[in-house]
Homo-oligomer: A and B are copies of this chain.
Amino acid sequence: MPAKPKHRDRIVRTAARLFRRDGYAATGTNEIVAASGAPKGSLYHYFPRGKAEIAEAAVSYAGGLVSATLTELAAKHAHPADIVRAYGALLAGWLAKSGFRDGCPITTTLLELAPSERGVTKAGKAAFGTWVDVFTASLRAAGARKASAERLARTAIAAFEGAMILARVEQGPGPIEDVATEIARLFELSTQPQMSLI
């Protein structure tokens, strides 16, 4: 037995991956155990509240990954429109790599469990919140008006969420590319001094 737990993280990461592909209800605990190499007993030891608790941890974990990615992009790009374009390119690449079988790592789970599972709902809200914050900060720094920065940021996150769904259904990157183009344009228009007055 290891000095430090080695299975908990694996359970979470594996669950996030499996939930992303087929959703929460279609992914059984035995499948998570088999795919992660974790013992069945450990699963309920670490997550005594059961499967929903695993979902909560998976949403937090996956949401944090996206947040880190967005933060990294924000550090590289001064303008929010450039972040949008870069993020769009990343998303298109990820989905293409999965053969357009994956989507946003937290969406399917949230659609199945929110708002009835409180913990999962809260984890999802926090995840989306941090993503919106990254864009809001960048938009503010680029000159967007305070009243519209958060609205714009939320629109961008929502648009990318929807674009990933469309991309999966259409089995191609088109929707993500379209959203990236139009949201980047909207951001540019919203951060120009004269347009900001509209």
Contacts and interface: CB of A to CB of B under 8 A. Distances in A.
Interface of A: 22-26, 99-101, 103, 107-108, 110-112, 114-116, 121, 124-125, 128, 148, 150-152, 154-155, 157-163, 165-166, 168-171, 174-175, 178-179, 181-183, 185-186, 189, 198
A103 B112 contact: no
A98 to B, nearest CB: 10
A125 B182 CA distance: 21
Contacts of A159: 155, 158-159, 162, 179
Nearest to A120: B169
Given A101-B116, A159-B159, A111 B165 contact: yes
Contact of A26 (B112, B115, B182): B112
Contacts of A160: 158, 162
B158 A162 contact: yes
A121 B100 CA distance: 12
Given A26-B25, A159-B158, A166-B157, A152 B111 contact: no
Contact of A155 (B99, B128, B178): B178
A160 to B, nearest CB: 7
A169 B114 contact: yes
